[in-house]
Structure 1
Amino acid sequence: MLSLPVIVGFGGFNAAGRSSGHHAYRRMVLESLSAEERRETLVGLAVMMGLVRCEGDRYLDADDRAYDAQAVEQQFGPTVMEGTLIRRIDPSFFDVDAVHWQKNASLRGEGATSLSFELSHRDLPEPVPSDWQLEDIDERRVRVTLSGEVQVKWDSYRDLPVKSAGQLPKGFDPGALYNSRFHPRALQLTVAGASDAIQSVGIPWGDIAAAVRPDQISVYASNVMSQMDDAGFGGLLQSRLKGHRVSTKQCPLGLNSMPADFVNAYIIGSVGQTGAIAGACASFLYNLRAAVEDIGAGRCRVAVVGNAEAPITPEIIDGYATMGALAAEEKLKKLDNADETDPRRSSRPFGENCGFTIAESSQYVVLMDDALALELGADVHGAVNDVFINADGFKKSISAPGPGNYITMAKAVASARAILGDESVRERSLVQAHGSSTPQNRVTESEIFHRVAEVFGITEWPVTAVKAFVGHSLSAASGEQLINTLGIFRHGWVPGVKTIDRVADDVFAERLHIPLQDLDRREKPVDVAFLNSKGFGGNNATASVLSPSVVDGMLRKRYGDSAFESYRQRRQNTRDRALEYDQRALRGQFDTLYHFGESMIDERLIEFDSGEMRLPGMTQSIDLNLPNRYSDMTGQS
């Protein structure tokens, strides 16, 4: 039997807040929640943002004034709303109206006069130019005289045309959750996000690890832009130009494999399979496919999958803006025919738009094979049926869309139809669109959806796009799509594309339903969702994700009523423990997992023979009795 990869945990952080417990999803559908759910979401964000702290049943502000939950919502709710989702880039990153640059200049003497200036001895260039004449002033300073000209660089400050981004909730610092000294921001997000996902499972990680062989745990994670802030590759590449020294950490911590390596080395202590697959903006789905394939084939039984991206730097924004890919303020003003524009509406999927909005995010999920999930009583939030990846063939522009997405989308729908039948696909499916908010994307992606819907007989296909709320987090974007989908499965509300007034005229919307307000699917639950991603270079990927109710039916059929009912009883304990973590996190107690230098394996104590290997501290052994996969070619059984 092929193992089914089921989702047993999920977490992370983005502009909408904490992903576990569906809280980031709930921020996006806040208007549709019950009064109690709305209050819990806003109060949790107020704690996360440092507006209040929780002590017992009371909430205290910076002046130790006490509030109950209702008072927190009334007093701080507007601040929470303003400090989440896409918004103007916070000065804690940089001043978008005065970004530091360097301007080149040439200095020369007036007329035929030589140019003379004073320098510290230690500031002299190496070697000293041949046309410089030096005269010592004292032990520390020297006078330089030259007859030509000298090139200098002035500090300069310019206006950045892009003013908005999807930032973590204002006041929330992922690096404050653990000892994050010298860690680039993307790796701080990695630790916080992966820890949140693992604790959301509701089963202690030690129990999970003890239930499988050490090499049956996999981690697949990466990012696209590496770590480009000062603590990573950004500082590494700028150090010589700025006259600074490279640190010992900037090069290794800058690698785009670190979002996987940090999970292995500091969070779960895994010695199993690992991978860091990058496929531009489809990277999450690339990593998810590796996990799905390995679980299905029995190569692993547990997989942690995710991405962490922190691209809100002037250099990265400048790069994408120069391509014309980002929503610049002046372009938005022209769209709105106004002197001012709302930065919160800069991302406008399928509406009149002008570019995407860059964002930071960390999104991780925990997968298990179905047999292990039943054995441990894991709570199943959904299952990944399949992930399809196809390229575009020959291209003229590396950033332009192509035919590969037709293949991935059609195969994903066909795969779901094979499992669920025509009715579920036609009546109870939805699409999580890439929805990047570019004029080209709204036309090309909607045409793909329209043509696929036409072929499979779909007439009112719900299409949502989470980038309207949180922006485009590059490698982590499809992680946000997946976790948002789990929220739809749980609560029944499909987030509307609330940043547009209407669907653009050139969108192929005849067979699509792109809601502008939250769509209520509680009476007609969604069975399957299709996550679509398009990346530069022809990196197309589409995944089909099955709802927990569908998965429950599949598990009952595979294992029988008795085994399934026994599993349901064990599952309730897991849900109780997951809820305990969720309630602690709502009070600001994230209990972030970070094990630096703890429980390290002494290689001298590794024991093995030709049949198995035992590692100190690991409950089970690693099997060395490997089968001959080519027995028909070798004659060896």
Structure 2
Amino acid sequence: MTHRHPQHYEERGLSQLPVIVGMGGVNAAGRTSGHQAFRRTILDALPDTLQAQTILALAAMMQLVTRLEDGAWQDAHGEILDAADVVSRYRQHVLDHTLIRRIEDERFGSEGIPANRAAQLDLDDALTFRVRRRQLPNDLPPTWQVRDIDKRMVEVVVPPGSLNVLLPERRSAQVRSAGQLPSGFAPETLYRSVHHPRGLSMTIFGASDCLGQSGLDWSALRNRLDPDAIAVYAGNSIGQLDNEGWGGLLQSFVGGGRATSKQMPLGYGQMPADFLNAYVLGSVGATGAVLGACASFLYNLRLGLEDIRSGRRRVVMVGTSDAPITPEIVEGFRTMGALADDESLKALDALTLLTDSDYQRACRPFARNCGFTIAESTQFLLLMDDALALETGAQILGAVPDVFVNADGWKRSISAPGIGNYITLAKSVSLARDMLGEDSVRHRSYLHAHGTSTPKNRTTESHVFDMVARTHGIEAWPVAAIKAFVGHSQGGAAGDQLASALGTFAHGVIPGIATLDAVADDVHAERLRFFRDPLPFEADATFINAKGFGGNNATGLVISPAATERLLAKRHGQRAVDDWKHRREATLAASQTYLETADSGRFEVTYRFGEGVLEGPELSMTRDALHIPGFDRPVSLTVDNPYGQL
């Protein structure tokens, strides 16, 4: 069913404006809600009180300290500290164990990655060994002689000749830097996770963080709408490839293990959406995921925008959750020549040994660089149509009028750059110019670059930016490249960028490219503004850019809260906006309560396993409506017929 626009929209030929009413997640910089992760990327530019608040909240998140009921803090040794003591004692630890850094997974350490090497043994004499009966192959080679020793053990004699074996070994990790979640933060410990892949545990946290930050009562919001007026579009670019997902499944035979009943279903790339519907939101509305490599977040966002603009849905949660820091995925990208491996980093700076500080500088967008830095992240947005946002008193963190997607056309290779990104960015800027005016685009907009830190990207993406800037008369377009801090989270990359953009709108500062010692000679920088230190900037709009592997290009236009309010006043009238601000007070108070709790390291994660389960017989149906227990309103079964009648 199409959920109709308000009458004045139809009369004026306008669409609903998709606005952002909630955000949540976590990446290497910290928690998304309350702009915690954003503040970590501009830490030195913040006032002292806000710096201390950020460090304190991160220390709690990283389980370095626990807040007591009287407001004091206790560390792991039981010592009681005040807030100032916590900041003084743990500041450097927080700085060293957030953002890009040396990989902390022991598999990437000095002992090396567990592996096997195929070998052929030439036996001059018979080989005799003992083994447990259950460890014997199902199909024994016909030349093997097996003798029972007892109920559990057997003796095997292998005659002289050739024997194929796998010899266990440890392989040194060739890539040792990544954008990991803050040390000590374990999303799987916050709820009853049972063999959940890391990406799905991150999904549960990210969506819960989004709902908490929104300040909205989800049950009340859901019950005021047709259940089919809600949608969820969430996924990732690769699927779940750790041991609890498809990684463990695919390794089971070769590694001598056993597949579990959960590895196959939990590995699917759309599983974040499935988890949200089943365990967080209880939604029966539209669902799905679009996989578009590094542009996946924007692809899913586009689905949500189209639903809201058309009136098909009124509330949509969109997002991604990627956890690709596994030896196999890292090795796959390394063999492509895409990652900044240790040897390349040494060569880049003429070093013989890499230190922790060198790993922290691994990602260098638009500078002399040698490859991207892999990362994990989960990011979610809660979207509404603007009429419902005003009606419910929701926060409005910004608006996303559109996301443009174009392919590259004919390509030299599947990984080579192409022309699609010129189209997506140019369309986004044209829309911003039409909505906000040329002055806003020229002087109060900035770019959130894909900025991967590969030599190819720095040239091709900067040329896209340069051509569009010249076309629109932009002389010094500021460029942010958030991957310098948090790395490249694959399908979630644009989510990291968008979360950062919302932070810029709130704080009036664009993060600098901290690893940019100098702009590389092959960067088209004449009309672009690159900077290392945070830049004070009052933005009306930003352009979230993604250049995905295989030609998956996307650019999203995001409008600031202030500019959105001006649009709302024009669309609905100033009185409607004033009434909304009054209703919003309760929402802001609820959001602040959640943020204060989260800053103390206590997270209210929603995970409702087995609650309210319905299988069909509980429903009641008429020709026009389906009634679902637990929902105040029925699902309308009246649908539009755009094709006419015989």
3-state SS, counterpart of residue 604 of structure 1: coil
3-state SS, counterpart of residue 383 of structure 1: strand
Mapped partners of 1:196, 1:176: distance in 2:
15
Q: Which residue of 2 aligns with 1:57?
A: 71
Equivalent residue runs for 1:543-622 within 5 Å: 543-601=556-614, 603-622=616-635
3-state SS, counterpart of residue 340 of structure 2: coil
Give the percent of matched residue pairs that are identical in Structure 1 and Structure 2. Answer: 49
Q: Which residue of 2 aligns with 1:337?
A: 350
Is the 8 Å Cα contact of residues 144 and 156 (structure 2) preserved in structure 1? no
Mapped partners of 1:626, 1:96: distance in 2:
62
Q: CA deviation at 1:123?
A: 2.8
Q: CA deviation at 1:474?
A: 0.3
Q: CA deviation at 1:137?
A: 4.8
Q: CA deviation at 1:225?
A: 1.6
Mapped partners of 1:422, 1:97: distance in 2:
58
Equivalent residue runs for 1:191-202 within 5 Å: 191-202=204-215
Mapped partners of 2:266, 2:550: distance in 1:
26
3-state SS, counterpart of residue 150 of structure 1: strand
Q: Which residue of 1 aligns with 2:123?
A: 109
Equivalent residue runs for 1:203-282 within 5 Å: 203-282=216-295
Mapped partners of 2:286, 2:237: distance in 1:
21
Mapped partners of 2:147, 2:180: distance in 1:
53
From 177, 194, 215, the equivalent of 1:181 is 194
1:198-231 deviations in Å (ceiling 9; x for gaps): 1111011012112211001000001112111111
Is the 8 Å Cα contact of residues 327 and 354 (structure 1) preserved in structure 2? yes
From 555, 573, 578, the equivalent of 1:542 is 555
3-state SS, counterpart of residue 368 of structure 2: coil
Is the 8 Å Cα contact of residues 130 and 156 (structure 2) preserved in structure 1? yes
Q: CA deviation at 1:340?
A: 3.0
Deviates more, 1:376-385 or 1:569-578: 569-578
TM-score normalised per structure 2: 0.95
Matched, 1:517 2:533: yes
From 132, 144, 151, the equivalent of 2:144 is 132
1:440-468 deviations in Å (ceiling 9; x for gaps): 00000000000110001101000011100
Equivalent residue runs for 1:46-125 within 5 Å: 46-55=59-68, 56-92=70-106, 94-95=108-109, 98-110=112-124, 113-125=125-137
Q: Which residue of 2 aligns with 1:461?
A: 477
From 515, 519, 522, the equivalent of 1:506 is 522
1:239-282 deviations in Å (ceiling 9; x for gaps): 11122221111100111111100000000100000011100000
3-state SS, counterpart of residue 372 of structure 1: helix
**CA root-mean-square deviation:** 1.3
Q: CA deviation at 1:439?
A: 0.3
Mapped partners of 1:619, 1:321: distance in 2:
52
Q: Which residue of 1 aligns with 2:421?
A: 405
1:401-437 deviations in Å (ceiling 9; x for gaps): 1001111111111111111111111111000000000
Q: Which residue of 1 aligns with 2:437?
A: 421
Q: CA deviation at 1:396?
A: 2.2
Q: CA deviation at 1:338?
A: 1.8
Q: Which residue of 2 aligns with 1:373?
A: 389
From 349, 366, 380, the equivalent of 2:365 is 349
Q: Letter of the 1:126 partner, please give it.
A: N
Q: CA deviation at 1:366?
A: 0.3
Is the 8 Å Cα contact of residues 5 and 292 (structure 1) preserved in structure 2? yes
Q: CA deviation at 1:115?
A: 3.7
How many residues in Structure 1 have an aligned counterpart in Structure 2?
A: 628
1:146-186 deviations in Å (ceiling 9; x for gaps): 12111111110111110010001001101011011210000
Q: Letter of the 1:38 partner, please give it.
A: Q
1:452-492 deviations in Å (ceiling 9; x for gaps): 10001101000011100000000111001111000000001
Q: Letter of the 2:139 partner, please give it.
A: P
Deviates more, 1:619-628 or 1:416-425: 619-628
Is the 8 Å Cα contact of residues 340 and 373 (structure 2) preserved in structure 1? yes
Q: CA deviation at 1:133?
A: 3.4
Q: CA deviation at 1:131?
A: 2.6
Mapped partners of 1:546, 1:364: distance in 2:
17
3-state SS, counterpart of residue 606 of structure 2: coil
Q: Letter of the 1:129 partner, please give it.
A: P
Q: CA deviation at 1:108?
A: 2.4
Mapped partners of 1:114, 1:270: distance in 2:
65
Q: Which residue of 2 aligns with 1:474?
A: 490
Is the 8 Å Cα contact of residues 502 and 516 (structure 1) preserved in structure 2? no
Q: Letter of the 1:512 partner, please give it.
A: L
Is the 8 Å Cα contact of residues 504 and 510 (structure 2) preserved in structure 1? yes
Q: Which residue of 2 aligns with 1:362?
A: 378
3-state SS, counterpart of residue 617 of structure 2: helix
Q: CA deviation at 1:573?
A: 1.5
Q: CA deviation at 1:135?
A: 4.3
Mapped partners of 2:158, 2:560: distance in 1:
76
Q: Which residue of 1 aligns with 2:6?
A: none
Mapped partners of 1:190, 1:202: distance in 2:
19
Structure 1: runs of 5 or more not aligned: none
Task: Check 1:65–1:121 CA distance in 2 against 1; reply closer, same or farther (3 A cut).
Answer: closer
Is the 8 Å Cα contact of residues 112 and 170 (structure 2) preserved in structure 1? yes
Deviates more, 1:92-101 or 1:156-165: 92-101
Q: Letter of the 1:60 partner, please give it.
A: Q
Mapped partners of 2:300, 2:345: distance in 1:
34
3-state SS, counterpart of residue 253 of structure 2: helix
Q: Which residue of 1 aligns with 2:52?
A: 39
Matched, 1:495 2:511: yes
Matched, 1:22 2:22: no
Q: CA deviation at 1:127?
A: 1.7
From 162, 173, 177, the equivalent of 1:149 is 162
Is the 8 Å Cα contact of residues 223 and 283 (structure 1) preserved in structure 2? yes
Mapped partners of 2:642, 2:171: distance in 1:
62
Q: CA deviation at 1:118?
A: 3.6
Matched, 1:442 2:458: yes
TM-score normalised per structure 1: 0.97
Is the 8 Å Cα contact of residues 137 and 143 (structure 1) preserved in structure 2? no
Matched, 1:385 2:398: no
